[in-house]
Amino acid sequence: MVLESFLNPRSIAIIGASSKPGKVGYALAKKLQAFQGEVFFVNKNCGSIFGRGVVPSVLEIKEDVDLGIIAVPAVAVPQVVEECGRKGIRAVIVISAGFAEAGNVRKQRELVGIAKKFRMRLLGPNCFGVVNTSLNLDATFARLSPMKGSVSLVSQSGALWSTIAEYSRAERLGFGKVVTLGDAADVDFCEVIEYLERDKQTRVIVLYIEALSDGRKFMRVVQKCKKPVIALKAGKSDAGMRAALSHTGSLAGSYEVYKAAFKQSGALVAESLSEALDVARYCSLQSFVSGKRVVVVTNAGGPGILVVDALRESGFEIVALPRKVKEKLPKAWSGNNPIDVLGDADELRYRLVFEALAENVFFDGVVVVLTPQFMVDPERVAREVVIFSKKVRKPVVCCFMGFESVESAREVLEKNNVPCFFDPERVARVLGKLKE
């Protein structure tokens, strides 16, 4: 499949590579030093970059090249695309801006025409590049590269990725593949979704959408996709729609129409970037919630109540505890759901609760709340949660309300496919979204 040339290339040529910090071509050259394949630098005005030789044209590269990345002024792009075609390169990424998004539709059509002439595929123009963490391929100019993981992103906004890449590291949300479409003159959402559905690394797909050129085709592709697809639509307001037109040359339509189409096709609709990433985290680790009955286990009354309130607002039932479960719970507890094991609870008290619940599975999901009090070791509680989650085979989500104190616990949880969030509202919002 031709998209392999974009995401699994053996060799890359950077046309417009630069030795000057501050240039896009410099950022690309620097970041691609970690790439596992071969990289060639092309610039007719530069002798060497990072101590390596530079050629003036792709036509002077003797070896085969799978992917060309173009970062030159817009006026020079058609000639460079032509040279890539003559070289036999099957795929080109046009980072350069100044096409449909700037009203230059004719020049953009010219690029597509050249690509078709050589049976070459084109990503962009006006895009941010691609990422494949399994190859250490980061062909973007984001400052940081993401953590490796199973979430993949397809975005019409490239700069949005630079923020998400930093979020990835700060929040330990791992990414597999990233494709930024820019003006989407050739390669579009549908092709990338179809590719990612077959990609073994990808477990969940996040889409940032400003506009779709073929809504019906998009709906068919998403309906067929067996992996969770999370859609974040930008341009909800009139001002947002106008901004989308100037950003990628996309004419955004009514948000309500898009939202209805997303839901009809089976996509999960995110109302914000943080919601999209939270849902992606959950989907990358656990299965969907199949019912409304939830049990909350907490070591703090106030946070437990906040979780209960948020869950009820999202349509969940805080299910009553059967007598046979109550009889097996430790003496120090609240007497009802939420099960408050009190502030001095250690991992052993949590374990007693989990064992009682595991023997009588009357619920559809469990939320475990922990505040980092002096008497509790969050990491030990996390290990008890992991054992419990594997026993019950029901969705188990954690709300460990802290930062530094619960960092190692959160790492234990998510390494064992248990999502962990910092606040109750995020837990309820994610579970509610998956229940819709």
DSSP code of 136? T
Question: Based on the domain organization, do 249 and 345 belong to the same domain?
Answer: no
Question: Based on the domain organization, do 272 and 296 belong to the same domain?
Answer: no
pLDDT-derived band at 213 (thresholds 50, 70, 90) equals confident
Q: For strands 48-49 and 420-421, give the pairing.
A: unpaired
Q: Which residues contact 170 (CB under 8 A, 6 or more apart)?
A: none
How much is the average pLDDT of 275-290?
A: 93
pLDDT-derived band at 238 (thresholds 50, 70, 90) equals low
The CA distances from residue 164 to 77, 273, 284, 429, 434, in Å, are 28, 9, 16, 20, 22
pLDDT-derived band at 418 (thresholds 50, 70, 90) equals very high
Question: Based on the domain organization, do 364 and 241 belong to the same domain?
Answer: no
Out of 191-205, 337-351, 414-428, give the one with best mean pLDDT.
191-205
CATH number, domain with residue 17:
3.40.50.261
Residue indicated by tokens 């030795």: 19
pLDDT-derived band at 390 (thresholds 50, 70, 90) equals very high
Tokens representing residue 155 in the block: 């975005």
Q: What pLDDT score does 245 carry?
A: 42
Question: Based on the domain organization, do 162 and 19 belong to the same domain?
Answer: yes
Q: Is the pLDDT of residue 250 over 50?
A: no
Alpha helices in 335-377 (DSSP H): 347-359
Q: Is the pLDDT of residue 263 over 50?
A: yes
Q: Which residues contact 364 (CB under 8 A, 6 or more apart)?
A: 289, 290, 291, 292, 293, 294, 394, 395
Question: Based on the domain organization, do 299 and 276 belong to the same domain?
Answer: no
| Alpha carbons 380 and 84: distance in angstroms, whole number | 57
Q: What pLDDT score does 436 carry?
A: 62
Q: What pLDDT score does 335 carry?
A: 83
pLDDT-derived band at 237 (thresholds 50, 70, 90) equals low
Domain hosting 102: range is 3-283
Q: Is the pLDDT of residue 240 over 50?
A: no
Q: Is the pLDDT of residue 95 over 60?
A: yes
Q: Is the pLDDT of residue 424 over 50?
A: yes
Q: CA dihedral in degrees (236, 240, 241, 244; nearest 10)?
A: -120
Q: Is the pLDDT of residue 247 over 80?
A: no
Question: Based on the domain organization, do 431 and 338 belong to the same domain?
Answer: yes
| Alpha carbons 253 and 259: distance in angstroms, whole number | 11
End-to-end CA distance of the chain: 35
Q: Which of 283, 318, 348 is the last residue of a domain?
A: 283
Question: Based on the domain organization, do 78 and 187 belong to the same domain?
Answer: yes
Question: Based on the domain organization, do 256 and 107 belong to the same domain?
Answer: yes
- For residues 245 and 303, the model is more confident at 303
| Alpha carbons 93 and 138: distance in angstroms, whole number | 13
Q: What pLDDT score does 58 carry?
A: 97
Cβ–Cβ under 8 Å, residues 156 and 181: yes
Q: What pLDDT score does 184 carry?
A: 94
Question: Based on the domain organization, do 233 and 377 belong to the same domain?
Answer: no
| Alpha carbons 221 and 225: distance in angstroms, whole number | 6
Q: Is 390 helix (H, G, I), strand (E, B) or coil?
A: helix
Cβ–Cβ under 8 Å, residues 177 and 150: no
Question: Based on the domain organization, do 256 and 218 belong to the same domain?
Answer: yes
pLDDT-derived band at 88 (thresholds 50, 70, 90) equals very high
How much is the average pLDDT of 199-204?
A: 97
Q: Is the pLDDT of residue 241 over 60?
A: no
Tokens representing residue 401 in the block: 């309300």
Q: Is 410 helix (H, G, I), strand (E, B) or coil?
A: helix
Q: Is 317 helix (H, G, I), strand (E, B) or coil?
A: strand
| Alpha carbons 205 and 230: distance in angstroms, whole number | 6
pLDDT digits (tens, 9 = 90+) for 100-110: 988 899 999 99
Question: Based on the domain organization, do 327 and 379 belong to the same domain?
Answer: yes
Q: Which of 264, 283, 302 is the last residue of a domain?
A: 283
pLDDT digits (tens, 9 = 90+) for 333-345: 888 899 999 989 9
Q: What pLDDT score does 289 carry?
A: 81
Q: Is the pLDDT of residue 5 over 90?
A: yes
Q: What pLDDT score does 254 carry?
A: 80
Rg (CA), the chain: 25
Tokens representing residue 138 in the block: 């980061």
Half-sphere exposure of 69 (CA within 13 A, CB side): 33
pLDDT-derived band at 246 (thresholds 50, 70, 90) equals very low
Count of structural domains, the chain: 2
How much is the average pLDDT of 354-380?
A: 95
Q: Is the pLDDT of residue 186 over 90?
A: yes
Q: What pLDDT score does 96 carry?
A: 96
Q: What pLDDT score does 384 carry?
A: 98
Q: Which of 249, 283, 317 is the last residue of a domain?
A: 283
Alpha helices in 118-157 (DSSP H): none
pLDDT digits (tens, 9 = 90+) for 134-178: 999 999 999 999 999 999 999 998 889 999 999 999 999 999 999
Q: Is the pLDDT of residue 132 over 90?
A: yes
How much is the average pLDDT of 20-25?
A: 94
Question: Based on the domain organization, do 237 and 333 belong to the same domain?
Answer: no
Name the pTM for this structure: 0.92
How much is the average pLDDT of 414-425?
A: 93
Q: Is the pLDDT of residue 348 over 50?
A: yes
